[in-house]
A and B are shown apart, each in its own frame.
Chain A
Amino acid sequence: DAKTTQPNSMESNEEEPVHLPCNHSTISGTDYIHWYRQLPSQGPEYVIHGLTSNVNNRMASLAIAEDRKSSTLILHRATLRDAAVYYCILRDDRDYKLSFGAGTTVTVRA
């Protein structure tokens, strides 16, 4: 499986943007970039996914580098409810399995 690298932790102030980087230098042409987040003591929650183009949804934006070797999840205005572990995952287009790495723990200060 292709691997991703994320910072262990990031801190943000409430109502400020959060930029979460993810490196995936060994990404293949059939890999989709997925982001999930996990709040304490809960199952993960889908955030966003993309292949080549930048993507926006109600939760976040995903900016994908032109060479696809890195991506950035953007939370536009962090709230206390956004405090979670954020996972950047590469999913092969040929199957549906998700391989979770260590993720980035996001802390939001009031």
Chain B
Amino acid sequence: GAVVSQHPSRVICKSGTSVKIECRSLDFQATTMFWYRQFPKKSLMLMATSNEGSKATYEQGVEKDKFLINHASLTLSTLTVTSAHPEDSSFYICSAREFSSYNEQFFGPGTRLTVL
């Protein structure tokens, strides 16, 4: 199956700093990528949808100036958590959809962000 990677897998940062998380589709072109957040023992919450070359569409309640998403190529999307605070600590997961794959999304392994 198609592979999606995320980097870094874990990051610890100080409050007030910005953190960039990369999501790459390794063996396919991803026309659409999705970003999710998951708190401990909770389900995934969709944050935004990004299409290559377009601005991301954010879900209600997600601050677009706080969570900057860039999808500059068909294999790479980045999520930047700006001015991170302890409440932003979470598991961030991306997924990607291949143009020809109508039904299946391929998920990355996730990035554990801890803000001190």
Contacts and interface: CB of A to CB of B under 8 A. Distances in A.
Contacts of A34: 103
A44 B93 contact: yes
A95 to B, nearest CB: 8
B109 A97 contact: no
A101 B32 contact: no
A7 B58 CA distance: 30
B39 to A, nearest CB: 12
Contacts, number: 51
Contact of B44 (A32, A49, A100): A100
Contacts of A100: 36, 43-46
B107 A44 contact: yes
Interface of B: 1, 4, 6, 32, 34, 36, 43-46, 49, 91, 93-95, 97, 103-110, 112
10 contacts: A34-B103, A36-B107, A44-B95, A46-B105, A96-B49, A98-B34, A98-B95, A100-B46, A101-B43, A103-B43
